Chains A and B, each alone.
Chain A
Amino acid sequence: MKQLISLEINGEVHELAVAPQDSLLRVLREDLGLIGTKKGCDSGGCGSCTVNVEGKAVYSCMTYAMSVQDRPIVTIEGVGENGKLDPLQQAFIDAGAVQCGYCTCGTIMAARELLATVSSPDEEQIRHAIAGNLCRCTGYQKIVDAIKLAAANSA
């Protein structure tokens, strides 16, 4: 049975009808067209669906839409301002941290929580922060470099 709920996503409140079993991921992609958040394993194992809820990185595939009513959600579409890329997005480009790109949005959303709490993370902190995000193309070195670069550019 669907229920009418409101979700605050990227600063905008959306009223929509969702079913009890609807994941936040499904609602984002299929009801709201916010397809920057990727569907990978859809079972909490790959990290490509990572979004921020109240500033914290969570897997949107295992977050029920009804469980995050009135809790601010930010997706990759909400991280830049006025058409300007977020420092993390720019750093991923500059460091060449993208190959196929499928993991990129989720990884940026995981890194975003880290940089919001630790301004100059060391390599171990960075690797721990993205441990829940799998990259199947190249490994992680350039991703780590990009996060370091973003931290330096934001300092």
Chain B
Amino acid sequence: MSLATFENYFLPGNGREVVALLQEYGERALILAGGSFVHGLAARDLLSGVDVFIDIQKLGLANIVTDPDGLQVGAMTRFTDFEKVPEIQNDPGWGAVKDALSYPPAQIMNAATVGGSIAAVCPYFDLPTALLAVGGKVKVESNTGSREINLKDFSTSLFESSLGVDEFVTGLVLPQPVSGSVSAFIKLATNANDLAIVNVAVQINLDRSGVCRSASVALGGGVNEITLRSAAAEKLLEGQKLTDELMKAAGTAVQVDISPMADHRASAEYRSAMASVLTERALQRAIARLTRSS
């Protein structure tokens, strides 16, 4: 679909120039990373009044740094490069991220970026659900310098984030999972190239006796206006042995926290039912990795 006529396309060379452009153009400006969701924004009428692109590909934000504390991932890192990071491939604690990156077709993997998928605050995306489960911080920059926002606090409402008008996302910090952590992600969609109807990611950590020390359960895909964590499911799991019955009960418990949308992809009732099913399956998938890695 064709976009409305844009006034300008900027290719700034550093963060200061980006901030200056954001200050000059305010709500008229859209930060462009991979560009794979601009159509999605236009189709949802979220580009009215936007007529300036700020393309951040020349900022050198496509780098990935690995250190003992975890990963620092530049905002412009394409999915295809993120997927290849050995730690993402091999650490079962980041299994949900690996899973989420196994779904998109090549054309999206080659275009979509880590920063863009976060900054779009789209509840139907896959990677943000996985990232919310494994935990991390979003690095942002503005004229007052840089700060980090907890992923849990980044989304505020449908397509709205806690970013200020002159702030933009520069990267992501992913802390090294606690030893023994496992995680998994599952997406339900109509076809290989569609947004999720429901997606679920979990990360769990068990002690030696098999008791759950910590659990995070994240759900997306229109089960709520924003991708969210289910405190009810997490509370149920923590301190308990993860039996089949308990994992099924955790699936039921997510109902307390979600409030599914209805659209052309699925009814609210269907999303609701599938949220429970997928939560149980994601937990089972994660547990299977624990058995394998121990």
Chain A residues within 8 Å of B, Cβ to Cβ: 1, 3, 19-21, 26, 42-47, 50, 53, 56-59, 61-64, 66-67, 110, 113-114, 128-129, 131-134
Contact = CB atoms under 8 A, between A and B. Distances in A.
Contacts of B193: 45-47, 131-132, 134
A56 B32 contact: no
11 contacts: A20-B52, A43-B39, A53-B110, A57-B106, A59-B107, A62-B35, A64-B32, A67-B35, A129-B106, A132-B192, A132-B193
Nearest to A50: B107
Nearest to B111: A58
Contact of B11 (A43, A62, A66): A66
A133 B108 CA distance: 11
B49 interface: no
A63 B111 contact: yes
Interface in B39-98: 39-40, 43, 52-53, 55, 57, 80
Contacts of A66: 9, 11, 53, 55
Nearest to A64: B35
A20 B8 contact: yes
A56 B80 CA distance: 10
A67 B32 contact: yes
Contacts of B111: 58-59, 62-63
A67 B194 contact: no
Nearest to B47: A21
Nearest to A51: B107
Contacts of A59: 36, 107-108, 111
Contacts of A133: 105
B2 A21 contact: yes
B107 A3 contact: no
B178 interface: no
Given A43-B40, A57-B106, A63-B111, 13 more contacts: A19-B6, A20-B52, A21-B3, A26-B2, A42-B2, A43-B39, A59-B107, A66-B9, A67-B57, A113-B106, A128-B106, A131-B193, A133-B105
Contact of B194 (A3, A42, A45, A114): A45
Contacts of B39: 42-44, 61-62
B38 interface: yes
B35 A63 contact: yes
A109 B170 CA distance: 32
B256 interface: no
A53 to B, nearest CB: 8
B13 to A, nearest CB: 14
Contacts of A44: 36, 39, 107-108
Contacts of A63: 35, 111
